[in-house]
Amino acid sequence: MTVSGCFTALVSGLLFGLGLAVSHMVDPAKVLGFLDIAGNWDPSLAFVMGGALLVTVVAFPQVLGRGKPLQAASFVAPVKSAVDRRLVAGAATFGIGWGLVGLCPGPAIASLAFLRLESVVFLVAMVGGVALSKAFPGQPGGEVHRADA
Amino acid sequence: MENFTPLSALIGGIMIGISASVLLLATGRVAGISGIVGGLVPPVRSDALWRLLFLGGLVVGVLAWRAIRPGDVVLTFDASFPVIALGGLLVGLGTRIGGGCTSGHGICGIGRRSLRSLVATVTFMVAAGATVFAVRHVVGT
């Protein structure tokens, strides 16, 4: 990763974090309010996803169509294209964890800005889960440079 | 519908979308946070810095908003510490086995027109919704 690439990563992270804060997605209660369809339903998360998708659905194909990024040799994107049991099992497992607490990886890290012990506990356990996932073969990690997978 | 904040949600979402698009355009990387974290477990010398800077940026971005609008965002945790730990474990495990999270699959993957990501997103949304239903309306905590 080049110096300019690292700088972009920082700026991108700042904007992402700002977006999480502005939208309140960093607050577990806000997320659970969306997931609690049988309760006092708060559709806000749908608007967050919708706003993000408005941009990425248009921008990503444009960017990928360039063939190569500005400050790197190639795109690094997941190579698997099949919908398999591992995908579904992994997504379901993630969903359960997310539903139990209302935190997913991005908001969990961003929430460190509030210096809550809950965030630290969650993140330590999350890293533990990442380490544990290595026991299951066939993990993504060796990414490939196919932009269309 | 309580606490519905459509405008700030939309604006925040657009910021997130722009962030991911900028990262992809400049560095060729997908802003999938579970993957960015995954690449730090364990860290690889030449590859760690951009990840740390991005993740650090997430925190500073929130700090910046707290400075701009103090008291706007408040965190409320419902779950007990053991449940928080369990949830974290499942999130870490599931995102790596499934290859992504809300940002990786939900925002970036669908942006890339990935069927895998669409399936994953629907799956984790349903699983999360079912979990919240079970916890709040069946078990009644």
Cα angle for residues A119, A115, B70 (degrees, 5° grid): 120
- The whole-number pLDDT of residue A147 equals 40
8 Å CB contact of A127 and B92: yes
Minimal CA separation from B22 to chain A, in Å: 7
Q: Which of A25, A69, A141 sits opposite B38 (nearest CB)?
A: A141
Find how far residue A123's CA is from the centre of its chain: 14
Q: What residues contact B70, with CB distance under 8 A and at least 6 apart?
A: none
B116, A70: Cβ pair inside 8 Å? Answer: no
The predicted structure's pLDDT at residue A149 = 36
**Distance of alpha carbon A76 from alpha carbon B30, whole angstroms:** 7
Give the pLDDT of residue A144: 39
Beta carbons of B97 and A139 less than 8 angstroms apart: yes
Per-residue pLDDT band for B76 (boundaries 50, 70, 90) equals: very high
pLDDT at B95 over 90: yes
pLDDT value of position B1: 67
Separation CA A84–CA A93 (nearest Å): 14
Q: Do B137 and A25 touch (CB under 8 A)?
A: no
Determine which of A43-47, B74-78, B107-111, B136-140 has the lowest per-residue pLDDT on average. B136-140
Q: What is the pLDDT of residue A80?
A: 75
Amino acid found at B72 = D
ipTM: 0.96
Q: What distances in angstroms separate CA B137 from CA A49, A82, B16, B133, one per listed residue?
A: 26, 35, 32, 5
Q: Which has the minimum average pLDDT: A79-83, B12-16, B54-58?
A: A79-83
Cβ distance of B127 and A149 shorter than 8 Å? no
| pLDDT value of position A82 | 83
B116: which chain A residues are within 8 Å (Cβ-Cβ)?
78, 80-83, 87
pTM, 2 dp:
0.94
Nearest residue in B to A107, CA atom: B58
Categorize the per-residue pLDDT at A140 as very low, low, confident or very high, splitting at 50, 70 and 90: low
Contact criterion met (CB < 8 Å) for A103 and B88: yes
